Amino acid sequence: MPLLALVIATFGLGLEQLVQWRFGPMGIVALILLSIGIKSRNSTCAGIGAVVLILLVTHPGPG
């Protein structure tokens, strides 16, 4: 059980670092909104987080 918790925590931190590296602070905010919305079963919060992540993914980068 502790090994599984360690793997899940490592995966979560890795995902958070990847999102922040790729999409910046707004990506972290969107990921937090999405996860809070899913955990609390709040569709508005989850929807806002999902829309922001989609906009960040589809928006062309500089250059």
Domain range summary for the chain, segments of one domain joined by +: 2-58
Residue with tokens 């999405």: 34
The pLDDT profile of the chain, 63 residues, written as one tens digit per residue, is 688 888 888 888 888 788 778 778 888 888 889 889 999 999 999 999 999 989 988 877 664
pTM over 0.75: no
pLDDT of residue 53: 87
Which residues contact residue 23 at a Cβ distance below 8 angstroms, ignoring those fewer than 6 apart?
A: 30, 53, 56, 57
